[in-house]
Amino acid sequence: MKKTGTDGAKLGAKLWTSLIIFGFFGQVAWIVENMYFNVFIDRTMPLSDNRFSSVAISVMVAASAITATAATLIGGIWSDKKGNRRRFISFGYIVWGIIIMSFSLITVDNFTALGIKSVSAATIAAIVTVVIMDCVMSYVGSTANDAAFNAWVTDNTAGPKRGVVEGVIAIMPILAMAAVFGGMDRMTQDTYLSPAGEEVTGWISGGTKIATGNWTLFYVLLGSVVTVVGIIGIFTIRDNPALRPNPSSDYRDIIYGFRKEVIKANKNLYLAYAAMGIVGIANNSFMSYLIMYAERTLEYPNGSYILPVAVIIVTSATASVVFGIFMAKMKDRRKLNLPLLGIYFIGAIGMLLASPLCFEGQTPMAAVCAAGFVLMGANLCISANLTATVRDLTPPDKTGMFQGIRMVFWVLIPMVIGPALTAIIQQFSEPSGSFDMNGNPIYNYTPYMFLIAAVIALFAAIPVILLNRAKSEEMTPFAPHVSAADGFDEQLTDDTSASSTYAEEDKNA
């Protein structure tokens, strides 16, 4: 496969529209899974010892990650074999949304109604069902988003413009978080009876939970939106014209990316994978527990944690977009990764200190916002930079196949290890002073999860330094997607790329 330094064709408005819509709403669905399923278990399915909720969450996250990785490995090869990303994305999003809506039926009361008389047994049955359904959702979502959509983005972007695209894609998770937090979080708030005997919405120190939030409406609304986006995609999203069925793609090639000769031939690609995997472990040591941590440990009740989250989102997202533009103009953007890791470390230590370790009572929001901006800003910039590098170095004829390998480092390893580390230290946490509906104490989440993130992030310096030492010619991006009919051995010219097709259609519209 030849490589090229071409800038690629102009990215048209129609391509940008598809990229933003599916990128954003895909992340909305992932926010529901990665953050709100955790809250769902913590708030509506309390175990006798609330500290074990972190263990249940860790198991769920790990099971979901394993399923998502398997789905992406299979889905990537499947979409390569069929030479079609569009159908996988559109119909996948439709089913994805329906599955999200089905979570509204999973409640402890419903299992009690089915004949499970013990509240403890009904709670365990509900948690197990959530874990199983989360795996089903992960399989569908990963096939549609992680396998097909990510391969579609790689097919349709090339050259320095990838930096701008990755800068935009990198902020999608945090923009989705802002949308869900700002528009939907209130529905998930519990009702407590305060020590003074007043009913309050959201956690309160010394209070007793008397009712859970409106999770039915939450799941139905978000699921229906994802389904509608999938329906829209049937008519709007288009594949790269050069994409063709690849009959040589075989399911036995699931292990393709794990072969010694493949790793050796693409060593820099795997260094970028490793760096992102380590940063992912650091991220997942706190992301799965962030809402409960902000509400109880930092003492931001009644959904007031939305304010610092909004500030952090806006500032870090802005930094990421600016960084994406800056990155697109750099000849050698890999040199930015090491300083960004240092900034990430500083941000994680800042979040550790912006906690009850240094402040009594409610932690000042200004301290959390400042530290959170540094941490999340660095995280988004690292993600954009490394993802662009991965796309540059991914062989176009194996784009779908490599999405599964990407998932091993982006999802499987981080989501199995990161939450488990925090679940271990969570067993030594302190009670929050409040009680669940069964009279059991509710525990805080420990700020030491940010110390875990800081220490782990330091290890990412090893693959980053090795990547920096690679010769420049080894880092030259592959050409855009080429036709299977040509044997994947000839460079695709700019005037046949999908991006130029979109741009031409925009001009003629």
Q: Say if CB 400 and CB 76 are below 8 A apart.
A: yes
Contact indicator for 277, 414 with CB cutoff of 8 Å: yes
Whether residue 189 lies inside any domain: the answer is yes
Helix (H) or strand (E) holding 434: strand 431-435
What would you report as the CA-atom Rg of the chain, rounded to the nearest whole angstrom? 23
Total domains present in the chain:
1
Whose CA is closest to 192, among 307, 290, 302, 63? 302
String of b and e for 40-59 (b: at least 16 CB within 10 Å)?
bbbbbbbbeebbebbbbbbb
Sheet of 441-443, strand order:
199-201, 191-193, 208-211, 431-435, 441-443
Judged by phi (left if over 0) then psi (alpha if -120 to 50, else beta), residue 21 lies in alpha
What distance in Å separates the CA atoms of residue 270 and residue 130, rounded to the nearest whole number? 34
Question: Rounded to the nearest 5°, which phi and psi values hold at 161?
Answer: -60, -20
The residue ranges of the chain whose pLDDT is under 70 are 1-11, 158-163, 246, 248-253, 400-401, 403-404, 477-509
- pLDDT for the residue 323: 83
**Measuring CA to CA, which residue among 188, 214, 230 is closest to residue 94?**
230
Residue at token pair 């500032």:
315
User: What is the span of the domain harbouring residue 199?
Assistant: 13-240+257-478
Q: Position of tokens 């989360």? A: 134
Question: What's residue 37's pLDDT?
Answer: 93
Query: Residue 450 to residues 289, 297, 371, 444: CA-CA distances in angstroms?
Result: 11, 13, 11, 14
Other Cβ atoms within 10 Å of 482 Cβ, number: 24
Specify the CATH number for the domain of residue 363: 1.20.1250.20
Q: What pLDDT score was predicted for residue 127? A: 95
pLDDT for residue 463: 95
Separation CA 19–CA 200 (nearest Å)? 41
* pLDDT for position 267: 92
Q: What is the pLDDT of residues 331-360, one digit of tens each?
A: 777 888 999 999 999 999 999 999 999 998
Axis-axis angle for helices 37-44, 52-82 (nearest 10): 150
CA pair distance 143, 133, nearest whole angstrom: 15
DSSP 216-228: HHHHHHHHHHHHH
The β-bridge partners of 200 are 192
Q: Is position 64 within any domain?
A: yes
Q: Is there a domain that residue 35 lies in?
A: yes
* Position 327 in a domain: yes
Task: Please check whether residue 176 lies inside any domain of the structure.
Answer: yes
Which residues, including other chains, have CB under 8 Å from residue 225's CB and lie 6 or more apart?
25, 28, 97
Per residue in 189-237, pLDDT (tens digit) is 999 998 888 888 888 888 999 999 999 999 999 999 999 999 999 988 8
pLDDT for 129 equals: 96
Phi, psi of 208 (to 5 degrees): -125, 125
Q: Is 197 left (phi over 0), alpha (psi -120 to 50) or beta?
A: left
Whether 98 is in a domain gets the answer yes
Domain-located, residue 250: no
Say what the pTM is: 0.77
Q: Could you tell me if residue 199 is inside a domain?
A: yes
97 vs 277: CA distance, rounded Å: 28
Rounded CA gap, 163 and 388, in Å? Answer: 6
Cβ neighbours around 115 below 10 Å, total:
7
Residue 437's φ and ψ, nearest 5 degrees, are -70, -15
pLDDT for res 353? 97
Cα–Cα distance between 468 and 449 in angstroms, integer? 29
Which pLDDT score, from 0 to 100, does residue 238 have?
Answer: 84
The closest of 348, 291, 304, 326 to 37, measured between CA atoms, is: 291
